[in-house]
Chains A and B, each alone.
Chain A
């Protein structure tokens, strides 16, 4: 079983202008003292079409982690707009928070993100070239998608052979582990009713 359990992720500064940094307040619990640091990453999915537009906004080491309950705020700069396809700038995308221990990802938290213009005029007639200064980012904080992976927490032994350990591709569909038995996890296409209006 995982030595680290994520208890809560609070999305701070949400909704906010597109250029604001991401802020997640992460609370986690650790069963035993961890000899090594945890590595957390925020990955912004630039386009649902291809993972080549994924941007790792930041990665940060967290440690030392003694047994107990801990919290920290993970802040990362907004995505580089130059790397986002213009057609995907406005609309729904995904931001992923991943955590790895000894290079093995054991949890992936995905949030839907809706980027839209606040100005109704712009919303009606969006400019061809996205105006990022006018975009508002809204993270659907109430509906995180959590995927946990089985990893080898003891460093000495060789890595577990399970296919589950293969890091999922950091793609929008990567919120599901590739080895997941279909049907075990609700398909991502099922958007919750209360989500933002999609284009």
Chain B
């Protein structure tokens, strides 16, 4: 309760308040009942393994393996699976087969397959390849923006506006990402007002949802709370998602904090695919399996079958020749 001015603190006696305003007890008790149901009943999982996950794996995965992964994920109950990225293969060779992947997958009804489109060229290629939803990637850090996509935040917003306007004409929904929402590998601490500013711009430009990314996983429930508190003043909570990296093991408590604040969309990657490019050998994306285990254990519905996700994770890990990062998958695979 550090935000309360000292002038007010001496008045903060619950007993005194109730004595002065007896009708308040009922109001506060009703509020308490409301806050006892403070978790969303349903959480939408946005599966980013095939794109964010595989993009950050050392091994380049053959097209048919990517297609197989996405097809397996399509049968798990996931409703959103980020399929690929229409970025130049010069920059991201792992995603060079974007058109073949998008055209090769079996699209399940009720599942959406957004793709990344950093600019108009990428957007046009994506539409030509059959994309029905796209995503654009902003940053809350000036330095990260310059190093990652070679332009300032303002310049990137102009590029996205072009994409969003073109998408509007074709009725293609656009999702916005804000990276470095809780910290930047170059600038260090990122102030919540900056994150709110970028999120608001992207939302007002026309993104239907803004995914706030803890790109290097340095966030904790403390910084997550402060950041969301600020962003939620400018973007409705229903339009927010969290994209937590598990580099410091903080992803699940950070997601829990976000849920407590009303966020009901969570990004994650099957098997925790995708290391952190800023901390060699460290983990990156939080595992979908571990998120599902937590949500289901809290009685929150997701529509996703955990065992089927574990199977998909095992399959891709075999293909990559690596162990899963999911603790749930590790434990279930080895229970005596």
A binds B: no
